[in-house]
Structure 1
């Protein structure tokens, strides 16, 4: 674990900024994007996760989101930790931490620098490090609807503990990939927001066998600071490292506090 966070800090110094799951901060971003003022916003979510990934499990999920809205640029920090038990014997232990920096975030065309550090002990993913950049174009932005496209490239380094001849060996896989997404955010009612993002990530030499991810969020606002959050993640990898990782889905629910 110590090595994991030391390497994360090293990546931070090189890249400068990190990214993962922008939808997690969108529910606290909308009210500030309509203003020219410079603000900080924080969102903390405590809840649980029902996860189907080979074995079914119930775990606790904790996340922390911090966003700075500048006059021209925007910075985001997101961290999450999940721990629990699967089928009463397999221990769940995964998490991630990331930062993201967006230049000209109020304009139709903006530029993102991003990276990510994460681990998932259940899947034998010792560590994954991602760094890259994207151009993002807003097709529409209003208080009721936010629609955007983004495309760019990223570098991915994964450390897997793979079973070979009954022995676990650490294998490192490095690759350059294209990385694109479509982002959709709408206000279904004054108290209910829906956010959906579809990612398409693929190696340059195997573009039509991608990793496709869907992040879908429902945010029910109880008060100005309190909300109930429901998140559905769907993951499909055409070339998974672990065979049973071709399809993964995750349902996360929690109580969010924004300030």
Structure 2
């Protein structure tokens, strides 16, 4: 039991998994390059055995990447996030997503976006979640150092959840309203701050209730060199009516090294 409690602490100290994507987590701005991207990675490996005859070893990593292909007045972005934790020989935490987004007419202050996403979270019993949708992004303020934006949209979502402590699975699909608002501020050449807030909602006619999902993420990126930097991220997510009885509020803090190319 004590190892399970320690593992829970490690999970939420080192490996968070946001149910909602932060599009502003890694800054990729258009320049003369056709393809740009960045990678943020962190690694943990150690033991905390209290007794010689009870060895306990922990191994885990978090890997995030953002790659963008720039076309004329448009952008195709591929964003990934993976977290993994193994205790001795047993996988304990395995979460991640792959997100593909196409933004059109980015030279306009109002422009459409289309996206698809695959997601999983075995620790909370989610496998898989499929998302596909469209939105209309509004860049209310867009300068060289500061941007403020919001986007209303609509999406289809399919989820398969395992009911905790059972072998039963629940599968659902909904048409949802998906909306985000956020900003990015380049404080100086070494520091930038960004945050994004999501609100997604739908009416579940079978359960006769509204299902609402909220999320906020704050990122602070510090540049060490032209290609290396440090990323600090805090995420808080809340679902008022989860599909299965799981924790409604989850939060996490992560820190890692970022490499741009």
User: Do the two structures share a fold, i.e. TM-score over 0.5?
Assistant: yes
Q: Where do residues 236-251 of structure 1 align in structure 2 (5 Å cutoff)?
A: 236-251=238-253
Q: d(CA) in 1 for partners of 2:98 and 2:167?
A: 26
Q: d(CA) in 2 for partners of 1:118 and 1:48?
A: 21
TM-score by length of structure 1 reads 0.80
Quote the residue 1:186 is aligned against.
185
TM-score by length of structure 2 reads 0.79
Instruction: Report the structure number with the largest CA radius of gyration.
Output: 2
Quote the residue 1:76 is aligned against.
77
Q: Where do residues 89-238 of structure 1 align in structure 2 (5 Å cutoff)?
A: 91-163=92-164, 167-204=166-203, 210-238=212-240
Instruction: Note the residue ranges of structure 1 that are not aligned, 5 or more in a row.
Output: 1-18, 50-56
Aligned residues: 226
Q: d(CA) in 1 for partners of 2:98 and 2:250?
A: 20
Q: d(CA) in 1 for partners of 2:191 and 2:93?
A: 31
Whose helix proportion is higher, 1 or 2?
Answer: 1
Q: Which 4+ stretches in 1 moved above 4 angstroms?
A: 204-209
Residues 33-53 of structure 1, C-alpha deviations (whole Å, 9 max, x = no match): xx5x4521021111159xxxx
Q: d(CA) in 2 for partners of 1:210 and 1:58?
A: 35
Q: d(CA) in 1 for partners of 2:238 and 2:101?
A: 24
Task: Report if aligned partners of 1:229, 1:253 keep a CA contact under 8 Å in 2.
Answer: yes
Task: Report if aligned partners of 1:42, 1:65 keep a CA contact under 8 Å in 2.
Answer: yes
Q: Check 1:207–1:232 CA distance in 2 against 1; reply closer, same or farther (3 A cut).
A: farther
Instruction: Note the residue ranges of structure 2 that are not aligned, 5 or more in a row.
Output: 1-19, 45-57
RMSD: 2.5
Q: Check 1:114–1:244 CA distance in 2 against 1; reply closer, same or farther (3 A cut).
A: same
Q: Check 1:228–1:203 CA distance in 2 against 1; reply closer, same or farther (3 A cut).
A: same
